[in-house]
Structure 1
Amino acid sequence: MQIGEVAREAGVSVDTVRFYERRGVLPAARRKPSGYRMFSESAVERIRMAKALQELGFTLDEVVETLQAHDVGEATCENQRWRLEAIVGRIDAKIAELHRARRNAVETLEVCRSGCCRLTLS
């Protein structure tokens, strides 16, 4: 498959396919004598898996590590569960951070409504 076809089938841009290849999400494509990249059909599924993992909160490095573990036959639910646990922890920390920011914004708004705005320098 040529790069445009892979991108179309996977629902990403050609630039994303190139980026994923550079970062190791996709194995290096073989090249035609003309220089055109030729990907196997499995590239589409691999991109879809990478996108699904990113939507779960995996960083790109974590996506690459997870796919590499899968490639060598070492990925099982039991030995990869820690990755999801870490992501849930990061999400929980971000939610707590957002709650604090909201609480501070609401307090500042209440002070501002009382006539003592904290947003001005005077």
Structure 2
Amino acid sequence: MKIGDIARAAGVTTSRIRFYEKRGIIAPAVRGPNGYRDYPEELIAILRFIEQAQGLGFSLKEIAGVDVAQGDHPISCDEAIRLLSGKLDSVAALIAEAKERQRRIKALIAELQGRKQSAA
């Protein structure tokens, strides 16, 4: 398939596909005699997987470290559960850190408001 067809089917831009190739996220396409890139149809599922993973907060480095298979399901359910569980733990830690930061900010605001009222 041509790059434009793959891009439309996967919901990505052609430049994104080229970027993924340059970064080694996806295998480079085979070039036909005419010089055009020829992509396998299975790449559509892989590109959708990459987009979904990025939307869930995975970096391209993390995605590149995943063994991706051909077919409708680029990774096994067990592997997906393992990766998602790890990401969920990271998100929970970020939420806890943000809540602590929020608590400290509120405390500082209250302290400053108290000083302001004392000075008045």
Displaced runs of 4 or more, over 6 A: none
Alignment-mate amino acid for residue 26 of structure 2: L
Instruction: Tell me what 2:59 maps to.
Output: 59
Instruction: Tell me what 1:12 maps to.
Output: 12
Q: Unmatched 5+ residue regions in structure 2? A: none
Instruction: Tell me what 1:119 maps to.
Output: none
State how 1:104-115 maps to structure 2 within 5 Å: 104-114=104-114
Alignment-mate amino acid for residue 35 of structure 1: G
Aligned: 1:87 with 2:59: no
Instruction: Tell me what 2:2 maps to.
Output: 2
Q: Is the 8 A contact 2:9 2:44 kept in 1?
A: yes
Alignment-mate amino acid for residue 53 of structure 2: L
**TM-score using structure 2 length:** 0.72
Distance 1:5 1:48, change over 3 A: same
Cα separation, 1, equivalents of 2:80 and 2:90? 16
Q: Is the 8 A contact 2:3 2:37 kept in 1?
A: yes
Question: How many Å apart are 1:82 and its aligned residue?
Answer: 3.0
Identity of aligned residues (%): 31
**TM-score using structure 1 length:** 0.71
Distance 1:99 1:63, change over 3 A: same
- RMSD (CA atoms): 2.4
Q: Unmatched 5+ residue regions in structure 1? A: 117-122
